[in-house]
Structure 1
Amino acid sequence: MYNNFDEIEFDLQRLNLERQIAIEELKGLKQEVKEDLNPYNWLSTAISLIKKYGILYLIKKILK
């Protein structure tokens, strides 16, 4: 319950700022997702996986 209009205005300003902060956080998340879906990142991940499993495969072949 509000006792006067100043309290209402204060809450409205606070909620507006919280909304603006949430919008900016979403913009940052959008940029992160865009970078994660970049083909270069996929290629570098694939290369690192190939290296990892290639080395393990070679070790298995040597130990057999």
Structure 2
Amino acid sequence: MKKDYNSFDEIEYELKRLDLERQIAWEEMKALKIDVQEDLKPLNWVHTAINYTGKIGSLMFMKKLFK
């Protein structure tokens, strides 16, 4: 996208804005990296498996209870 600038102040403002957007995007990527690292830890997998097992077990118990 080509934009016409009328002064150097507009160019400087745009460069500062773009630099801040780049810094924000970089910080968001670092936060996502930490989130992915946390999600891939084996302890989290075990916790998730236990939760799903508990839910499935309770559903099977309710099914047997009402039969």
The two structures have a TM-score, normalised by structure 2, of 0.82
Query: 1:9 maps to which residue?
Result: 12
Amino acid at match of 2:60: Y
What is the Cα deviation at residue 12 of structure 1? 0.6
Q: Deviations over 1:12-46 (max 9, x none)?
A: 11101110011001100111111111111110110
User: 1:60 and 2:55 equivalent?
Assistant: no
Instruction: Give, in angstroms, the shift of residue 54 of structure 1.
Output: 1.4
- Could you tell me which runs of 5 or more consecutive residues in structure 2 were left unpaired when the two chains were aligned: none
Is 1:35 the equivalent of 2:38? Answer: yes
> 1-side partners of 2:63 and 2:53: how far apart?
15
Alpha-carbon RMSD: 1.3
Separation in 2 of the partners of 1:17 and 1:63?
60
Structure-1-length-normalised TM-score:
0.85
Please, which runs of 5 or more residues in structure 1 have no aligned partner?
none
Q: How many residues align?
A: 64
